Structure 1
């Protein structure tokens, strides 16, 4: 980490700008950033549910990396994704295991019939169309997901964008998810949130993260934020890691059996 901090801003920025950002593999950040994981272990919980399902759908699967870690798929396994580079990656990863990856614009309707799945999953969906989730679930079926919570990584967001309004800081609150799920006719069985510590050790890690998670600082480029990035580079070299806090919540909602 110390060796990264001794490198020039130009060198680190060029390296981060050249790194591929398709999919949800964050291994490029190994040794350059850390992220505390939620205690419930979404991957483990999701894998257990998939092993018991007969037909499942993973919404906004990204490059399919999270879903692919499940050791067992149900007899019918589908996934949706809207970004073309991720679609290609997810197809390559999941097709050999019998999963169908469907191009979907991430707006209603989902391209499936009513009551098609007994399990719908998603990890960090950008948008959640609760009525559509309820529609494609079989009676007695379950939606299991890990969502990004309110004001997640806002230390980093506000470093670049300045203070955000209370309305913006409150968006993605789990209470809103509970209410929306209920309005769609789903019964929330489990809902828990945690605040998790993240650290960035060099400016390349910050640049890579903001290039990959594009909604954090919309329109982010090194050129547009060069001054602030340069100041943060100097700060990292003298003060050590930049600390931010992610929020995550696990939600499980069931469609009534009858």
Structure 2
């Protein structure tokens, strides 16, 4: 954190002007902290990529996680739906020989005017499908494109993640208590014929050290407070700024779960 205390207006202006393209949160360094799950998704996903022949990364975001994998399969494809992320992912992944396909499967569920699409790939094509923090999971499509014996490996946002912050702005959200439940994911995977071989979940500490970090986070993770703008929530933002200044970092908790499911067969 900077040793110079900045005003509310300065923090707001900075956080409103910074780009939120891609899925890189390095701008928050020194301004927010998030405890990481013990399983180390990027490392373990990379190990699986190194053993795969054909792999698909669903909802790749800006492609940052996939681009960091040391060894990619000969056939590696990524999908993404948000235009700024598509451009960033393409720039990162094309030099690695990865095609970035525009596709809305799972990524825009519930967004008015954006139709859901099947994955534009043949049946039984991939022996590994991965996804980090998908908006929704299209289990039937994943089962279709996996080869017999193939694996789906995904780190997902769990129930009521960062809800201390969500409810600060939106008030109590009781209907969200069962959303993104790991056991719901298990049931959905099994319903399309996949065998769940591993399911782990953790609740992790997250701290926001200034109001700029809060604004940046809500601009980037747009589904947390739908329609968030500084103008709409300026009074609550000012109150939260004053609270952080007097009491210290705003504490919330992220929830994450890791699911590994396998398609029966050879």
State TM-score, norm by structure 2.
0.95
> What corresponds to 1:252 in structure 2?
260
- Give the whole-Å Cα distance in 2 for the aligned partners of 1:243 and 1:217: 17
The within-5 A match list for 1:17-166 is: 17-106=16-105, 107-165=116-174
Give the secondary structure class of the aligned counterpart of 1:188: strand
Give the secondary structure class of the aligned counterpart of 2:91: helix
Give the secondary structure class of the aligned counterpart of 1:170: coil
Contact 2:86 2:102 (C-alpha < 8 Å) held by counterparts = yes
Contact 1:108 1:129 (C-alpha < 8 Å) held by counterparts = no
Residue from 185, 204, 212 that aligns with 1:177:
185
State TM-score, norm by structure 1.
0.98
Residue from 166, 181, 202 that aligns with 2:210:
202
Measured after TM superposition, the shift of residue 2 of structure 1 is 6.4
Deviations 1:40-90 (A, max 9, x none): 000011000000000000000000001111101001000000001100100
- What is the number of equivalent residue pairs in this alignment? 256
Deviations 1:18-58 (A, max 9, x none): 01001110000000000000000000110000000000000
Q: Which segments of 5 or more consecutive residues in structure 2 lack a partner in the other structure?
A: 106-115
- Give the whole-Å Cα distance in 2 for the aligned partners of 1:28 and 1:99: 26
Provide the alpha-carbon RMSD of the alignment: 0.9
List structure 1 runs of 4+ shifted beyond 4 angstroms.
none
> What corresponds to 1:222 in structure 2?
230
Give the secondary structure class of the aligned counterpart of 2:150: strand
Contact 1:62 1:81 (C-alpha < 8 Å) held by counterparts = yes
Contact 2:157 2:256 (C-alpha < 8 Å) held by counterparts = yes
